[in-house]
Structure 1
Amino acid sequence: MSRLERLHKDLGPILCVLIMAFDMIAGILAIEAEKAQHKVKHARLWIFECRSPSHKSYNLGLAASILLILGHATANLLGGCIYIRSKKELDEATANKKLAVGSLIFAWIILAVAFSFLILGTLANSKSKKSCTILHTHFLLIGGALCFIHGLFSVAYYVSAAAVTREERKLHHPQAAPA
């Protein structure tokens, strides 16, 4: 049994909880950042909004962004590299491998969108003085909601990647007895 397989077997459930915790805490922090942002003075006129930045919102948004990246990195580094290179390989792939690749693709897409929203919301609060811009509300809220969805796809990737690692070991080393 390889080190990676032993890690999946011994710490798999704990790692799933860790990955989900990173994303859930990131989502909660982003929602709290949105709340803090709405507590500062602001004025609206049609599609324009003038408001003071919120230092608390900036810090919470930055922390949420970092935790989102940590959750993604944990799932990808510990899940390993699962990929499909051709149509033939896709046709021959197991359900776990297809699930791993699909989850990985969706996790990356959601990461890109969620991180973009979190950074946009955070940067809106990074200025040192009041600013007036075109209305851009709820970036932190949307980014926070996407953090929860990202956690689900990241855990799905990690679990299916661990299953693929086990399957490939059995396929390439059939004489090795499972532990």
Structure 2
Amino acid sequence: MKHLRTVDDVMTHAVISANRRTPFKDIVKTMRQWRISALPVLTDEGRVVGMVSEADLLLKAQGGDESRAVSAGQLMTVPAVTVTRYASIAGAARLMARGHLKRLPVVDDDGRLVGLVSRGDLLKIYLRPDEDIAAELRELIMAELIPAGSAAVRVHVADGVVHPDGCIPDPSLNDVLVRVARTVPGVVDVTARLDVEVPA
């Protein structure tokens, strides 16, 4: 399985969007047709300027919006919160959590829409096979721990939980191992209880 590290690895590339002039009824029809709950609103050049969601439309339908907003440009939430395709999955997740967002438009360096990432997309990293996680961890351990001393560490991963065991020459390496393991995509938790090698 491909290592999933950036938004580009998990985003949806085909995105249904609106422009500022898209009428209220067309937005509703599009959402129903494609079974989506929000649309990015774009300029004619493809740059994201806002998001219009079911919540925005329902406010109008319930009579809570007394303005004469009838197009995407008038109904949309601004400014649009976006993320670049090169952002880390963890970074996008933090951005969503802080803003209580369900999805983020993904943009290129010029602010043009290139995709959309949802909460469900970000969770794909946890579908990574345990053996893939273990193999990457073994490589990292060789790079990070072995040069620090004669560490002899074995790694077992079950349901995304890392269970290392073995001997380390320095107790501080236990914390290093935990930090390294938590950077690996797909890791749910780490239970590191390693023995410290006592010099003879």
**TM-score by structure 2 length?**
0.22
* More strand by percentage: 2
Query: Which fold has the larger relative contact order, with Cα–Cα distance below 8 Å and residues 6 or more apart in sequence?
Result: 1
**TM-score by structure 1 length?**
0.24
- For the pair shown, which has the larger CA radius of gyration, 1 or 2? 2
* More helix by percentage: 1
